[in-house]
Amino acid sequence: MLKTSFFPCKANALGAPSGFPIKLSSTVLVKAKRPIHLKASGAKMELSITRPDDWHLHLRDGELLEAVVPHSSHHFGRAIIMPNLKPPVTTTAAAVSYRQSILKALPENSDFTPLMTLYLTDTTSPNEIKLARESGVVFAVKLYPAGATTNSQEGVTDLFGKCLPVLEEMVQQNMPLLVHGEVTDPDVDVFDREKVFIDTVLSPLIQKLPQLKVVMEHITTKDAVNFVQSCREGFVAATVTPQHLALNRNSLFKGGLQPHSYCLPVLKREIHRQAIVSAVTSGSKRFFLGTDSAPHERTKKECSCGCAGVYNSPVALSVYAKIFEEAGALDKLEAFTSFNGPDFYGLPRNTSKIKLSKTQWKVPSSFSFKFGEIVPMSAGETLDWLPLPLSP
């Protein structure tokens, strides 16, 4: 066991508690297997990690794109960009065009890199997969079962029939399939749709095409955790969102209906949240950061038929750090945020760093723009970890 030191915690300008000890190591956590550069800076803890990437991000387009892209580009080096626009990004040419729109909307001097995806349909051709690989800017294909979530109406209706030649070409091109893992059968309970998808679609798919790389996106259940862990490492992985780590389905009804906590897949029971937390904080390489940050203007959430999606980009790293700290696993945070994703995709890890400071800060109640407001996850709450930029 590594030597541990104690540092007094003094009150800060934001009114943090004083006089209680914080248990730290001068460079690493107790029982840490690798350095994570955790130190006390005056009265504050600071954690330096390799710059993270977001492996599941919705940036939308138009005014909404311009509004939200600075939040993601501020701390994340790269992001897998979801293709469910109107109309969806179904071709390489459309992906290239969308990428240019993102680059144009970035803040000045930003080095954020969008990694594009194609929206899989019943009519996608194998040749389109070849074009996507040759483009150098398309890194995956997204499977939306038709009707599963926002702008998924043009998604897949016959995966094993109409899409099989495309999936076989993806194996040849080493192009990952990113899966929204829910069935859309209205007779299946909404809280069971992930499990049923695993049993009826995903498991047969892996058996049929064992060389296909698959990311099960935004997992929400212990069933998904068990499935990913049962698969061959390096071929099946999962992204995990801040909301599915921090919230359970009670959060949807706390103090009344909470539309800004509504997302798809919907939040699940506490036993499922605990299973996901255990998986990501275990150090497994099969799980990595994917925020699924999904902005909607306030009136489209607070209405009689509110849109699904949690806007978490401004708070994601703070929430992830909180979860790992509570699990006593801060030494495993960097792998989850910065290593496992690029390793799975076969991309180089980032070389720059960011810093997380144990500093309380209050999340804005909303962000205002010309077109309206966006309410973020944890709106109005005080969080304990503050991400800061750090020079290369």
The pLDDT tens digits for 274-325 are 999 999 999 999 999 999 999 999 999 999 999 999 999 999 999 999 999 9
Residue 389 is predicted with a pLDDT of 72
Residue 211 is predicted with a pLDDT of 98
Residues 101 and 83: their CA atoms lie apart, in Å, by: 13
- Across 16-40, average pLDDT: 39
Q: Give Cα 333 to chain centroid, integer Å.
A: 14
Omega into 87 within 30° of 0, i.e. cis?
yes
Kindly report the average pLDDT of the chain as a whole number: 90
Residue 14 is predicted with a pLDDT of 31
Residue 148 is predicted with a pLDDT of 75
CA-based R_g, the chain, Å:
21
pLDDT at residue 67 is higher than 50: yes
CB 148 within 8 A of CB 184: yes
- Sketch the domain layout of the chain as residue ranges: 50-352
Q: Max alpha carbon distance in the chain (Å)?
A: 65
CATH 3.20.20.100 fits 50-352, yes or no: no
Residue 392 is predicted with a pLDDT of 52
Under the banding of pLDDT at 50, 70 and 90, the label for residue 11 is very low
Report, as residue numbers or ranges, the catalytic residues.
56, 58, 142, 180, 218, 292
Token readout for 55 is 């492996």
The pLDDT tens digits for 254-286 are 999 999 999 999 999 999 999 999 999 999 999
- Across 337-347, average pLDDT: 98
- Across 159-169, average pLDDT: 96
